[in-house]
Structure 1
Amino acid sequence: MPSPLKAGTGRLGIMVGLREEARLIERFFPQAVIALSHAHEAGARRALQQLRQGGAEELLSFGCAGGLDPALKPGTILLADSVVAGGERLPSSEGLSRQFDLGRGVMHGAIVHSPVMVGEVAEKRALHSRTKALAVDMESGVVAQSGLPFAVLRVICDDAARPLPPAAASGLREGRVYLPGLLGSLVRQPGQIGALMVLGRDAAQARASMKTYLENLAELPAKRH
């Protein structure tokens, strides 16, 4: 079992999109309050309310992100120094972010919030050009606008050069795989099977990369309080 980690001085609330992400992070922060957005913005706002009700005093946005910078490959760890949301660039808490910084194997830069899934290569390219953000997700903007100290720890799942297959959206419901939606999408567009297999491989690589990162972080006594 990994050594428990504690971040900052207040009670930590962690927002994740998917149940797999929740299962991973709770191993390392068993005392934290964790809430799922189910990978959509309305869910993120409900999750924020749950975190507040659970007594969270500082927040972490955790999980996968879509790559916008062409140089970032699946499995790249990102510790965001700011979040672009609602036309603003909101800085993350330096003190809190430092608690998640391994000091190696992590990229620093901005992440942009999107209310919808950004799946097309042209959309990713345009968003990167407009914001200069390294990656995109659907939770960090809600966390950043909460008014609480926050940090963002994300891992690139899909890179900027590869579009997301339609089944990536229709095959998710309530933060887990939704088999009827997945199969229905594949029946309608069987040509996406190859892309879906690649996405599955990249997602597995991303999870493994984040797990290793957290395990290494847990081995540093200076990161624990």
Structure 2
Amino acid sequence: MRTVLAVSGMSFESRIAAGPGVETLHGYRDAALARALEARLARDYAGVISFGVAGGLDPTLPPGTVIVATGVRAGAESFSTDPFWTAALRRAMPNAICGLLAGSDTAVTAVADKAALHEAHGALAVDMESHIAARVARAHGVPFVALRVVVDPADRPVPPLAVAGMAADGSTDIGAILIGLAKAPHHLGGLLRLGRDASAAKAALVSARKALGEGLAQPATALA
């Protein structure tokens, strides 16, 4: 059976995505992610899925909202998702919200920046991997889709220490967070709120993964 490649930013997202018919890639950003994807797509994958959490842009979407992307927008670039695989995702998760995702090379943390990005293209959420995965998949002629779950809502900023705690390898740098808290203890409240939001997002991501089953609902994997 051909496998699909699940692309994520953080290690916990990859652990959730992993399973029969699925290989994972995480811990890369920007050009490094593009290079890693180029190397992996030298192999014969049935498709590429961007899988994980995202920052909310639509103010109506609470943490834990599952989004099946109809496309990805990054600046002037637009990427379509594979219609057949997207339809399969929607059948597996009929309560998911469908719409546009935004891709960004940098973390979008301020409420004003989230609002501007939502107003520009109507994107529901933003992440730092989907646009890169879509770009490389398109270059290789490989089907691409994206499934993301809102973690931080549009009306709430991401605490600076949360960004500082994102290690380059996709893990959480607890040491960096503790050092930051020692210097700026007033950020503790924001981190605790984000922790609650993250718990809701992780639970929704796990539920979505179970609903998708083997091969993350990719139609070709079922036929291989």
Q: Normalised by the size of structure 2, how large is the TM-score?
A: 0.87
Counterpart check, 1:185 vs 2:180: yes
Q: Tell me which residue corresponds to 1:165.
A: 159
Alignment partner of 1:106 out of 87, 96, 99: 96
The amino acid across from 1:208 in the alignment is: A
Counterpart check, 1:128 vs 2:122: no
Q: Distance in 2 between matches of 1:119 and 1:138?
A: 12
Cα 1:32/1:64, change in 2 over 3 Å? same
Q: Tell me which residue corresponds to 1:3.
A: none
Q: Structure 2 unaligned runs (5+)?
A: none
How big is the shift at 1:50? Answer: 4.1
Q: Distance in 2 between matches of 1:31 and 1:81?
A: 23
Q: Distance in 2 between matches of 1:178 and 1:123?
A: 25
Alignment partner of 1:26 out of 14, 18, 22: 18
Cα 1:55/1:217, change in 2 over 3 Å? closer
Count how many residue pairs are aligned between Structure 1 and Structure 2: 213
Q: Distance in 1 between matches of 2:185 and 2:213?
A: 43
- In structure 1, the residue corresponding to 2:208 is in which secondary structure? helix
Question: Are 1:37 and 1:46, in contact at CA under 8 Å, matched by a contact in 2?
Answer: no
Question: Are 2:68 and 2:86, in contact at CA under 8 Å, matched by a contact in 1?
Answer: yes
Structure number with greater CO (CA < 8 Å, separation at least 6) is: 2
- In structure 1, the residue corresponding to 2:126 is in which secondary structure? strand
Q: Tell me which residue corresponds to 2:83.
A: 94
Q: Deviations over 1:19-69 (max 9, x none)?
A: 111111113xx232211144x323422331343144324210000000000
Identity of aligned residues (%): 34
Q: Tell me which residue corresponds to 2:205.
A: 210
Q: Distance in 1 between matches of 2:197 and 2:48?
A: 27
Q: Distance in 1 between matches of 2:93 and 2:210?
A: 14
How big is the shift at 1:216? Answer: 3.1
Q: Tell me which residue corresponds to 1:58.
A: 47
Alignment partner of 1:153 out of 138, 147, 153: 147
Question: Are 2:47 and 2:218, in contact at CA under 8 Å, matched by a contact in 1?
Answer: no
Which segment is superposed worse, 80-89 or 136-145? 80-89
Question: Are 2:73 and 2:131, in contact at CA under 8 Å, matched by a contact in 1?
Answer: yes
Question: Are 2:93 and 2:211, in contact at CA under 8 Å, matched by a contact in 1?
Answer: no
Question: Are 1:36 and 1:47, in contact at CA under 8 Å, matched by a contact in 2?
Answer: no
Cα 1:194/1:160, change in 2 over 3 Å? same
Q: Distance in 2 between matches of 1:142 and 1:21?
A: 17
Structure (1/2) with the larger helix percentage:
2
Question: Are 2:102 and 2:127, in contact at CA under 8 Å, matched by a contact in 1?
Answer: yes
Alignment partner of 1:82 out of 47, 58, 71: 71
Q: Normalised by the size of structure 1, how large is the TM-score?
A: 0.87
- In structure 2, the residue corresponding to 1:186 is in which secondary structure? helix
How big is the shift at 1:77? Answer: 0.2
Question: Are 2:71 and 2:101, in contact at CA under 8 Å, matched by a contact in 1?
Answer: yes
RMSD: 2.2
Q: Deviations over 1:149-201 (max 9, x none)?
A: 20000100001010000111111111111123212221222111011011111
Cα 1:204/1:54, change in 2 over 3 Å? farther
